[in-house]
Amino acid sequence: MSTLVLDNGAYFAKIGYSHEKVSVIPNCQFRSKTSRLKTFTANQLDEIKDPSGLFYILPFQKGYLVNWDVQRKVWDHLFGKEMFKVDFADTNIVITEPYFNFSSIQESMNEILFEEYQFQSALRINAGSLSAHRYFHENNSELCCIVVDSGFSFTHIVPYCRGRKMKEGICRVNVGGKLLTNHLKEIISYRQLHVMDETYVINQVKEDVCYVSQDFYKDMEIAQLKGEDNTVMRDYVLPDFSAIKKGFCKPREEMNFTGKYKTGEQILRLTNERFAVPEMLFHPSDIGILEMGIPEALVNSINNMPEEMQPHFYKNIVLTGGNSLFPGFRDRVYKEVRALAPVEYQVSVVLPQNPICYPWEGGKLLAENPDFEEMVVTRDDYEENGHYVCEEKFDI
């Protein structure tokens, strides 16, 4: 009996058998400008010669799985001959879904997993629960941890105690990678070059040049300086998809501070955008989203917990999700939480080696756990009792 672990994110699906390595695959379909009629699914993205003006068809909207036709196509591709060759009758699946997922979505997922694909058994679980499982596995003396999962659609902050999530402390900040990329597109389109259709390229720009500032106003001052004094300024060479396949940042020594280049490359000059965009994770109110930033939400969530638990949460803050890969993200979270936390508490913020696959690795550990059998719902169970048995067993 093999177990397939699928961390079904809104942007990337992290998938792999529990005894193998993980693959990170775009969880969406694409259409390209050149071949309008052909739809590319998941990792067929690499076959597109010219990804400029790439059109995304996403199964998730605002963090919830709403477009089942697209999700089915992606799953068919992932489970099919080209990828994981799943033998459904002999496979358990561990699949993630967002916190407080709508029951209608949960029911659709049960039907698809058990009736269409006919998996032997399934476990639906939150990605944060898998991260917590992994964290407790590595630090078995700890009783509590608080998981910050900052992904594509939003950022969840969830306290766990002895492996159980504490519902009253769950907090969601509606800022995620999608918002950051879209905001960067708007700023660049307004200031230099119309890139509103270039989601793919600008997402790459964001990943390559953005960072989290440790002192916003100081960096703002540096960003206004002229010439070489401006250590924030970067020139980003945009890909033309013939000679330059992937955009890159010009090395400092090759930069021409007048901004005029002889070569025919298209250049984006980025200054304060580099840190003003990720700043939205810390101050969503900058762009009119009236919510707390991550550090404030963390402290707020911990304050909702019983007092004797609070010191344990402060010293076990775990960062996961793609946004935690911004340079400086961990240090900034530490700095702000330290400033807001009571003096006598120790604060520790952990950024795992690979924050995107961290929940998947938790799922892998869970699948090898002797109690795993107790947690899943088998197909026979489901056929006998329907959705009710899933509601009883899965704590979403």
Question: Hey, what CATH topology would domain 130-176+290-350 get?
Answer: Nucleotidyltransferase; domain 5 (3.30.420)
Dihedral (C-alpha) 202, 208, 213, 216: value to the nearest 10 degrees? -40
Domains 130-176+290-350 and 177-279 share a fold: no
User: How much is the pLDDT for 192?
Assistant: 86
For residue 16, pLDDT beyond 80: yes
The mean of the pLDDT values for the chain is 90
The alpha carbon of 30 is separated from its chain's Cα centroid by a whole number of angstroms, namely: 19
Instruction: Residue 358: name the closest of 94, 64, 149, 100 by CA.
Output: 149
Q: Where are the domains of the chain?
A: 2-127+356-393, 130-176+290-350, 177-279
Backbone φ and ψ of 134, nearest 5°:
-65, -40
Name residue, tokens 């790439």. Answer: 54
Q: Is 372 in contact with 353 (CB distance < 8 Å)?
A: no
Is 3.20.130.10 the CATH classification of the domain at 2-127+356-393? no
pLDDT digits (tens, 9 = 90+) for 176-198: 999 999 999 999 999 988 988 88
Task: Just give the CATH number of 177-279.
Answer: 3.90.640.10
pLDDT digits (tens, 9 = 90+) for 259-311: 677 777 888 889 999 999 999 999 999 889 899 999 999 999 999 999 999 99
DSSP 110-167: HHIIIIIS--SEEEEEEHHHHHHHHHHHHSTT--EEEEEEE-SS-EEEEEEETTEE-G
